[in-house]
Amino acid sequence: TQLLEQSPQFLSIQEGENLTVYCNSSSVFSSLQWYRQEPGEGPVLLVTVVTGGEVKKLKRLTFQFGDARKDSSLHITAAQPGDTGLYLCAGVVGARTYKYIFGTGTRLKVLA
Amino acid sequence: ETGVTQTPRHLVMGMTNKKSLKCEQHLGHNAMYWYKQSAKKPLELMFVYSLEERVENNSVPSRFSPECPNSSHLFLHLHTLQPEDSALYLCASSQGFTGVHYGYTFGSGTRLTVV
């Protein structure tokens, strides 16, 4: 079974702090996405990374794809209460892209 | 209206009821998906449709029956469900299976409670 392990599972921090969420696998991904999901809503796509070593920035969020395309990280600078939610990584292994694997999730709470 | 729309948002049904969940996308995507999200579990893929043809049925019990009448609409018909089927059911769409995968667009989900 192919797995995407995320760490930490839970994170509670104060507003203004920085944090990093990790997404790891033993499989090589042709592309990888990060989503944020708020309670009672569907996940919302944040970013797609494709190339090993790629770094993408979305305002205070920085996404990195590992050189070997087996892992990824999400770094949030100066976290705000609006960043609260469930963060999911997901990726495609192989050519048939409906074989899409979701990570175990990181639940983030940012306290004002 | 844009994106992926799911109705109803909330549904409570008895174990002997029959109900249907509806999903509609206005993105021009040609693949649609049903996922189940239970507490403390990763998202579970249920069904995949590509150009109205089912390409994946991920060992889902027959009490769940999908229908895809065209590339914009997807239904999930429910009958004689069990309490453990209570979950958030998410519909998603994507461009398809060729080339680089750029992720899914999800609907807001249907929160299903089976009593």
Tens-digit pLDDT profile for residues B35-54: 999 987 888 899 999 877 77
The reported pLDDT for the residue numbered B2 is: 64
The reported pLDDT for the residue numbered A93 is: 79
Q: A43 touching B, CB under 8 A?
A: yes
**Is B102 close to A35, i.e. CB distance below 8 A?**
no
The reported pLDDT for the residue numbered B95 is: 87
Q: Which residue has the tokens 């694997």?
A: A101
Q: Identify the three-state secondary structure at position A37.
A: strand
Whether B62 shows a pLDDT value over 80: the answer reads yes
| Section B60-83 average pLDDT | 94
Q: Which of A30, A48, A102 sits opposite B42 (nearest CB)?
A: A102
Q: What is the pLDDT along chain A (112 residues), one digit of tens a residue?
A: 567 999 999 999 999 999 999 999 999 998 899 999 998 899 999 999 999 999 999 999 999 999 999 999 999 999 999 999 999 999 987 766 567 889 999 999 999 9
**Is A104 close to B42, i.e. CB distance below 8 A?**
yes
- Report the C-alpha gap between B15 and B19 in whole angstroms: 11
Query: And the tokens for B73?
Result: 């609409």
Q: Which chain A residues touch B106 with a CB distance below 8 Å? A: 35, 42-44
What number of helices (H) and strands (E) belong to chain B? 0, 11
The reported pLDDT for the residue numbered B10 is: 97
Query: And the tokens for B94?
Result: 């994507």
Question: In a 10 Å sphere around its CB, with 0-12 CB exposed, 13-18 middle and 19+ buried, how is residue A19 labelled?
Answer: middle
